[in-house]
Amino acid sequence: MPLSEGRSSFRAPRRFQRPWLRSDRPVPRAVVRPLERFLREEVGSGSLLLAAALIALIWSNVATDAYDRFWSTRLSIELGPLSFDEDLRHVVNDLLMAVFFYVVALEVKREVVFGSLRDPATAAVPVAAAAGTMVGGAVVYVAVNIDGGALQGWAVPIATDIAFALSVLGIAGRRAPPELRAFLLTLAVVDDLGTITVIALFFSDDLSLAWLGGAAVVAVGVVVLQRLGVRHMTAYVIAAGLLWVAVFESGIHATIAGVALGFLTPAVAFHRREDAAEVIGTQLNELSRREDAEVSEATIWETSRLARESVSPLARMEEQLHPWSAYVILPLFALANAGVPVSLAELGDALSSQVGLGIVLGLVIGAPLGGIALAWALTRLTPSRVPDGLDWPAIAAVAPLKGIGFTVAIFISVLAFDSESQIEQAKLAILVGSAASAAIGLAALSVRGRRMGQGRR
């Protein structure tokens, strides 16, 4: 469970001076804290992502040259025999998105070890739904493009943008049963795992076995550091940098370095929480009984270390990096990649092309129908059943949200196509398909919520 989902109700006494952002001054009270509450919700993350996409669209259509010049700015770094020379767009796509996929891998591992994917009976239906949506989206795209189209784009409609999907579910509010959120999260985690696998297997070229071997050595080194009990973050940051360079040079997409590190991050704390709490409590009780006791900085530091190390590295890293991923990296990605020329002619060309039509139909029709069909077949052919609190109308209502591809779909489209015109057609189709899927999903959830309300009355 993320730390943000289990925050303590403890509050320090008023005599302790609080930082300005946590104070009761007018600006923090009236502006900062309401903004924080908004951003903690999925609606906040999705809203920021949508705003970044709209800014990119306006920027690229009002000042096309300025937009292209900015994101084409070269960044060159030379370190001995190694050199890195990429434009800003590739810095975002290759380097910052590695952090995003690191957080995704942490979420997947957490769900596998502790969450909804731990129990096969609970996970079977959403796992089948996720697999079905991916297959359905890919099959529809291939069907549209099999006669002379660009078949390499088959993976574009398989991806789901969980921030947007959960935002739509949040907008639906009480019209959506709370169990749908857990169902959609499980589906998205499986989808993320499938997307990671697809990127690693199908979007890597010119593999260098030497660099790949170097990446394997670094990964083993990370495990050795963990076994030796090394806990200083600097060592792991250096290892992460070396792993990213090795994967980048190997020909595998650099974001896979983030995935590998995510799965290598320990899910178990260095100390049991109960043992750490007992030691800290004993130490503090002893100090409180001695009137002349002077609490040294060393004592406070040791208490802080014990408390920190009783939380697993996985939970700590997810808590620290998730805000950066959701509110900085993904909006930057949208800003760098969602800017495409939009006009009725270009929109018509995109939607009438095999690439654009395949993506739209894959997102809007193939993904939801494939998910429902495979999940339904699983419950008919095996003892698996729909999770408690849900029924088939609820699953059918949330299924269209799987067609909200956006960020990850755009990411795959950049990898899949070499032609700039096909990339722009794909991006326009993704925007149209994602918007249509969101509208259909919200309408379906509203209709179901209204009918459930009428039934209760």
| Mean confidence (pLDDT) of the chain | 80
Per-residue pLDDT at 362 exceeds 60 = yes
In a domain, 389, yes or no: yes
Q: Provide the pLDDT confidence category of residue 24 given band limits of 50, 70 and 90.
A: low
296-307 as b/e: b if 16+ CB within 10 A: eeeeeeebeebe
In a domain, 163, yes or no: yes
Collapse the DSSP code of 87 into the 3-class scheme (helix H, G, I; strand E, B; otherwise coil) and give the result: strand
In a domain, 262, yes or no: no
In a domain, 419, yes or no: yes
- Residue 49 CA to residue 97 CA, distance in Å, equals 15
pLDDT of amino acid 1: 46
313-345 per-position pLDDT tens digit = 888 888 888 888 888 888 898 888 888 888 888
Q: Could you tell me if 359 and 425 lie in one domain?
A: yes
Q: Could you tell me if 54 and 195 lie in one domain?
A: yes
- Which tokens in the block code for residue 67? 């937009």
Length of the chain: 457
Q: Could you tell me if 355 and 300 lie in one domain?
A: no
Q: Could you tell me if 391 and 356 lie in one domain?
A: yes
Q: Could you tell me if 182 and 292 lie in one domain?
A: no
Q: Provide the pLDDT confidence category of residue 68 given band limits of 50, 70 and 90.
A: confident
Q: Could you tell me if 131 and 164 lie in one domain?
A: yes
- Which range (21-35, 116-130, 388-402, 430-444) has the least confidence? 21-35
Amino acid identity of residue 230, one-letter, is: V
Number of domain units in the chain: 2
- Residue 240 CA to residue 263 CA, distance in Å, equals 13
Q: Could you tell me if 195 and 158 lie in one domain?
A: yes
146-185 as b/e: b if 16+ CB within 10 A: eeebbebbbbbbbbbbbbbbbbbbbbbeebbbeebebbbb
pLDDT of amino acid 170: 72
Place of tokens 């070890």: 113
pLDDT of amino acid 145: 93
Place of tokens 């908004």: 38
Contact (Cβ atoms closer than 8 angstroms) between residue 70 and residue 88: yes
Contact (Cβ atoms closer than 8 angstroms) between residue 225 and residue 236: yes
10 Å Cβ neighbour count for 379? 15
- Residue 46 CA to residue 52 CA, distance in Å, equals 10
Q: Could you tell me if 302 and 388 lie in one domain?
A: no
The residue segments making up the domain with residue 363 are: 42-80+119-201+336-456
Q: Could you tell me if 355 and 287 lie in one domain?
A: no
Q: Which residues contact 59 (CB under 8 A, 6 or more apart)?
A: 66, 67, 339
pLDDT of amino acid 160: 83
pLDDT of amino acid 35: 46
- Which tokens in the block code for residue 383? 């003892």
197-246 per-position pLDDT tens digit = 888 888 876 778 888 899 999 999 999 998 888 888 889 999 999 999 89
Q: Could you tell me if 174 and 133 lie in one domain?
A: yes
172-187 per-position pLDDT tens digit = 766 667 677 778 877 8
Per-residue pLDDT at 19 exceeds 80 = no
Q: Could you tell me if 411 and 285 lie in one domain?
A: no
CATH number, residue 444: 1.20.1530.10
pLDDT of amino acid 200: 80
Contact (Cβ atoms closer than 8 angstroms) between residue 187 and residue 66: no
Which stretch of DSSP H or E encloses residue 392? helix 392-398
pTM of the model: 0.75
